[in-house]
Amino acid sequence: MGKFEDNLTFEDVINQTLKQIKPGTSITGTIVEINSKEEIFVDIGYKADGIIPRNEYFSENNMLPSEELKVGDKIKADVLKLNDGQGNVLMSCKHAKIKEIRNEFKQKVEENKIFEEVVKQVNKNGLVVLYKNLIRVFIPISLSDVGRDEDINEYKGKTVRFKVIENDERAKKIIGSVKEVKEEEKKKAQEEFWNNIEIGKKYKGTVTALSDYGAFVDIGGAQGLLHISEMTWGRNQNPRDILEVGQEIGVKVIELDKENKRFKLTYDKKGPDPWNKVEEKYHIGDVVKVKISNLMPFGAFAELEKGVEGLIHISQICERKISKPEEELKVGQKVNAKIISIDKENKKIELSIREIEGTSQDTDLMVNEEKSVAVQDEEKGMTTTKEIEKSMINTDNNKEIITKD
């Protein structure tokens, strides 16, 4: 055996060693050189090094070998030829890498994993991404997050997160969906939200919609109602005059119904509650100057001061019967009103204009009656005086008659 080996030429030894390597075999080796032609020389543990030409190199990031590799790095490649004509094993990492990427992609699809890639192309039908700069995935516009008013061209170069919902390798048809990822993330966020929400907890929220009765605020996972009564001390302000859509505000949970997934919020109002001192400042029977703030079929709301309002029932607006408050009042009008009841706990004050008018009329009537009586007395006095004078004249005449006689 030893004698046989002694008779072998160097070429025979190389060939005998290389017999252990077959074309198509995948080998992992160590990079020993990257030359100016971007050729990669690899120590594969044999007598001859492997060589990977530039055109047999594949980059996920579309880069040159020297831009992302260095001497000492491990690299996996497939054997193409046992001898490239210069004593090196011709290898390709392109085939090995493509195979690796395809297997990796297939596994991620089977495991329903989320992909994150940059949009390479856009068209009127959707977005095109390349997984590892190799596998083309098409995301239809209906399954993307492109809004109706958005320019789809602006999505080129953006990173999107998606799931593959159809993978037909034979037809080369791979469909992705951004919406599915969004829906899953939303569902997960909501589950986490409802597990952690509690009464009294404070949040930083964003106003998403406004209505006549309040605002809807997203506090991360769900939207809650911020009623107008929790936005201002007053009763009849318009939420649109206080907040705007998109505004970020601090809120606190005051009511919670986890079963029906509902909650109500409160909002930090500016200044102390003016109702705290209502009973000190106002008393039943006081006549106050008020400003009409709102008209309703049943009456008028009037502002005593900022944040304190009272109701003038339609029956308390005037002496005569009216069918609607607009017949006598208008928003912004200032009138005098009498306080007829105060309910601090429920923040209610009842007012009356009618009672002031009634009092005024009663006073006028009393004055008129007094004047009438005075006139009557005066007239009576004048009559009595005339009668006395007449009587005195008659007496004097009688005296004259008696004297003459």
Count: domains in the chain: 4
At residue 357, the pLDDT reads 74
Percent of the chain with pLDDT over 90: 53
Distance between CA atoms of residues 205 and 268, nearest Å: 13
Interstrand relation of 223-227 and 135-140 (parallel, antiparallel or unpaired): unpaired
H helix or E strand, kind and range, residue 27: strand 26-34
At residue 46, the pLDDT reads 80
131 and 92: one domain? no
H helix or E strand, kind and range, residue 139: strand 135-140
Whether the Cβ atoms of residue 350 and residue 311 lie closer than 8 Å to each other = yes
Distance between CA atoms of residues 304 and 308, nearest Å: 6
Residue 383 lies in a domain: no
Distance between CA atoms of residues 23 and 393, nearest Å: 164
CA distances from 35 to 1, 31, 131, 365 (A): 41, 11, 29, 118
Q: Which tokens sit at 142?
A: 């209906």
CA-atom Rg of the chain in angstroms: 49
Helices (H), 223-335: 278-281
Burial of 348 (0-12, 13-18, 19+ CB in 10 A): middle
At residue 371, the pLDDT reads 41
7 and 87: one domain? yes
Q: How far is CA 221 from the centre of its chain?
A: 10
H helix or E strand, kind and range, residue 245: none
Band the pLDDT of 235: cuts 50, 70, 90: low
Task: Name the residue with higher pLDDT: 302 or 21.
Answer: 302
Residue by residue, DSSP assigns 319-333 as SS--SSGGGT--TT-
23 and 49: one domain? yes
Most confident of 17-21, 112-116, 376-380: 112-116
Q: Tell me how crowded residue 381 is: count the other CB atoms within 10 A of its CB.
A: 10
Final residue of a domain: which of 267, 282, 308? 267
**Residues 254-274, mean pLDDT to the nearest whole number:** 85
Residue 107 lies in a domain: no
Is the CA virtual torsion 26, 30, 32, 33 positive or negative?
positive
At residue 306, the pLDDT reads 82
287 and 329: one domain? yes
Residues 129-163 pLDDT 10s: 999 888 999 999 999 988 888 888 889 999 999 99
Residue 364 lies in a domain: no
Residue 405 lies in a domain: no
83 and 166: one domain? no
Whether the Cβ atoms of residue 267 and residue 231 lie closer than 8 Å to each other = yes
Q: What is the CATH number of the domain that holds 239?
A: 2.40.50.140
Residues 295-348 pLDDT 10s: 999 999 999 988 889 999 999 999 999 999 999 999 999 999 999 999 988 889
8 and 93: one domain? yes
Is the CA virtual torsion 331, 334, 270, 283 positive or negative?
negative
Residue 69 lies in a domain: yes
47 and 64: one domain? yes
Distance between CA atoms of residues 243 and 228, nearest Å: 10
User: 72 phi and psi, to 5 degrees?
Assistant: 105, -20
CA angle 307–311–314, rounded 5-degree value? 155
229 and 141: one domain? no
Residue 136 lies in a domain: yes
284 and 258: one domain? no
For the entire predicted model, the pTM comes to: 0.50
Residue 365 lies in a domain: no
Final residue of a domain: which of 159, 183, 207? 183
Residue 388 reports pLDDT greater than 50: no
Range of the domain at 152: 112-183
Average pLDDT score over the chain = 83
State the DSSP code for 396.
H
206 and 169: one domain? no
CA dihedral of residues 145, 150, 156, 162 (deg, nearest 10): 0
Residues 50-79 pLDDT 10s: 999 999 998 888 899 999 999 999 998 989
At residue 148, the pLDDT reads 80
Distance between CA atoms of residues 405 and 399, nearest Å: 10
Length of the chain: 405
178 and 260: one domain? no
User: Which of 95-109, 138-152, 225-239, 367-381 is the least confident region?
Assistant: 367-381
Distance between CA atoms of residues 306 and 314, nearest Å: 23
**Residues 195-222, mean pLDDT to the nearest whole number:** 91
At residue 368, the pLDDT reads 40
Final residue of a domain: which of 68, 99, 130? 99
Q: Which tokens sit at 314?
A: 């339609």
Strand ranges, E, within 258-333: 262-267, 287-296, 299-305, 308-313
User: 129 phi and psi, to 5 degrees?
Assistant: -125, 155
**Distance from first CA to last CA of the chain, Å, rounded?**
205
**For residue 51, which of 68, 63, 35 has the smallest C-alpha distance?**
35
**Which three-class secondary structure state does DSSP give residue 42?**
strand
Residue 21 lies in a domain: yes
Whether the Cβ atoms of residue 227 and residue 237 lie closer than 8 Å to each other = no
**Residues 383-396, mean pLDDT to the nearest whole number:** 46
175 and 224: one domain? no
Residues 245-263 pLDDT 10s: 999 999 999 999 998 989 9
At residue 7, the pLDDT reads 59
